[in-house]
Structure 1
């Protein structure tokens, strides 16, 4: 597992701190106000969906091969379409539909 972690793209320190703070706060909310924790989780899910797809649109499979991208993210690539479509420069939208699963 350390080998996989060593090949992943590191998060900026401020993002790591923010995520840690958010996790701690969500732990508190889950204990004290579970409905608020659930609402917060839903809002976070929407943010992740928006920015995940935005970031994916900037990924070019010809510049960063998809297997290397998956490795950098610490995931396994799960493609729901032919590799040829994913590797096509004209298929930027298709690349946004690639799904990743945490390794």
Structure 2
């Protein structure tokens, strides 16, 4: 069983597609953020956490929940919210959100299927590098292990700085700035894809 969490759902390699529980009101609409007056002048705290839509303090009352993603995807199934149970437990993490989570997981499977897959040999090499770096923490001489980690990081950064900028510029030219296609290939949201292109296009290594 998957329970509600205060942080969003994330999958390694697809972090920009952060998932969360979304809510719907009785009329089927999706409410905007809830605002909290922190008593410090014009400063307000904003939240979209599902448990804040409980109808208290004139907040909207959600009647159902569904999966949602940072890419604007929304789940097609809805699940009723039993506010009595939520209030009795007095802990949103104790409430079962496995339905919305399962739909988000299926959405991420689809995102991953449409993203460009790494060649098997390259994926294996990257896995070996990560595993070997992890083993450096266990060196008998910790100082040598840390130094080796930093040297390895330097080598990796040099490789990225050599290949990243041209790959980013070529990808942008290939798709003629069609950010939706680039985002799909990278398995990211359009906002994250745009930020990644800008990062690599201007990356340098000294």
Question: What TM-score range do you get, normalising by the shorter chain?
Answer: 0.5 to 0.7
Which residue of the other structure, out of 182, 185, 189, is the alignment partner of 1:72? 185
| 3-state secondary structure, aligned to 2:189 | strand
**Pair 1:12 & 2:119 matched:** yes
Which runs of structure 2 are paired with 1:5-44 in the superposition (5 Å)?
5-32=112-139, 33-44=145-156
1:17-67: CA deviations, max 9, x gaps? 1111111111112332122112211220221122111211222132x7222
Alignment-derived partner of residue 169 in structure 2: 57
Cα 1:50–1:30 change in 2 (3 A) is: farther
Q: Give the 3 Å change call, closer, same or farther, for CA 53–10 of structure 1 in structure 2.
A: same
1:10 and 1:97 map into 2 onto residues whose CA distance is 18
Q: Could you tell me the TM-score, scaled by structure 2's length?
A: 0.36
Structure showing greater relative contact order (alpha-carbon pairs closer than 8 Å, 6 or more residues apart) = 1
RMSD: 2.4
The range that moved more, 64-73 or 43-52, is 64-73
Q: Secondary structure at the match of 1:16?
A: helix
Q: Tell me if structure 2 keeps the 8 A contact 1:29–1:37.
A: yes
The structure where helix makes up a greater share of residues is 1
Which has the larger Rg? 2
Name stretches of at least 5 consecutive residues in structure 2 with no aligned partner. 1-107, 140-144, 201-206
Could you say which residue in structure 2 is the equivalent of 1:98? Answer: 198
- The CA deviation at 1:7 is 1.2
Whole-Å separation in 2 of the counterparts to 1:13 and 1:31: 28
* TM-score, with structure 1 as normaliser: 0.67
Q: Is the 8 A contact 1:77 1:99 kept in 2?
A: no
